Amino acid sequence: MGNRGHSVGGRSIASPRSGEVGARSAPGGESQPSTANLSTGLTSELAWKGWSGDRGPVHSPEVDNARWLRNNMTETERRVWSRLRGRQVGGYKFRRQVPVGPYVVDFMCVSDRLAVEVDGPHHEDEEADKRKTKFLQAHGYRVLRIPVGDVDESLDDVIHGIYLELTQAAFGN
């Protein structure tokens, strides 16, 4: 077999043969498989880190659900988020659609453990809301439930109520 490479600056550079990933040029221009990655166990390292080929990391169903909810927020949730994001409320940082156990919280101030839930007309299952609130409280979160009607009437009052909840907790009231 002859040299199957390219000529650069008068030097012949061999390219790897089909199926020889990481091949390197040997004297005389013939390709040789590389042994550099054999000892590193590259494939098992990638699998251990949670990577699945070209698809990226594999996430739990809760994370996937939260990601879907972030991308498909209701208009009311978007309005509230536009006022909570970027530390606009007293410098407190909020996250949106945060998975906590089997649940997803609409808005969360992690540093002060405040969960803010916007309850719309589709929140007809009061028993499920009670279970969610009980679970969050059992895990040390305070839960503030806000009806959509309140957001529609006065977003400023809702944001001020969230601010008061954060600051009163800071002062132990």
List domains and CATH numbers for the chain: 20-58 (no CATH), 61-170 (3.40.960.10)
Q: Regarding beta strands 114-119 and 142-147, do their DSSP bridges make them parallel or antiparallel, or are they unpaired?
A: parallel
Question: What is the amino acid identity at position 32?
Answer: Q
Spatial contact of 159 and 151, defined as CB atoms under 8 Å apart: no
Three-state SS at 105: strand
Beta carbons of 156 and 89 less than 8 angstroms apart: no
Q: How far apart are CA 139 and CA 119, in angstroms?
A: 21
CA angle, 40 then 43 then 48, to 5°: 95
CA separation for the pair 89, 168 (Å, rounded): 14
Is 164's pLDDT higher than 90? Answer: yes
Q: At residue 10, does pLDDT exceed 60?
A: no
Asked if residue 124 has pLDDT above 80, the reply is: no
The average pLDDT across 49-68 equals 72
Which of 162, 161, 61 has the alpha carbon at shortest distance from 108?
Answer: 162
Res 60: pLDDT? 83
pTM above 0.75, yes or no: no
pLDDT in tens, 70-116: 888 889 999 999 999 999 999 999 999 999 999 999 999 999 999 99
| E-state strands within 83-134 | 95-100, 103-109, 114-119
Contact 114, 168 (CB under 8 A): no
pLDDT greater at residue 26 or residue 120: 120
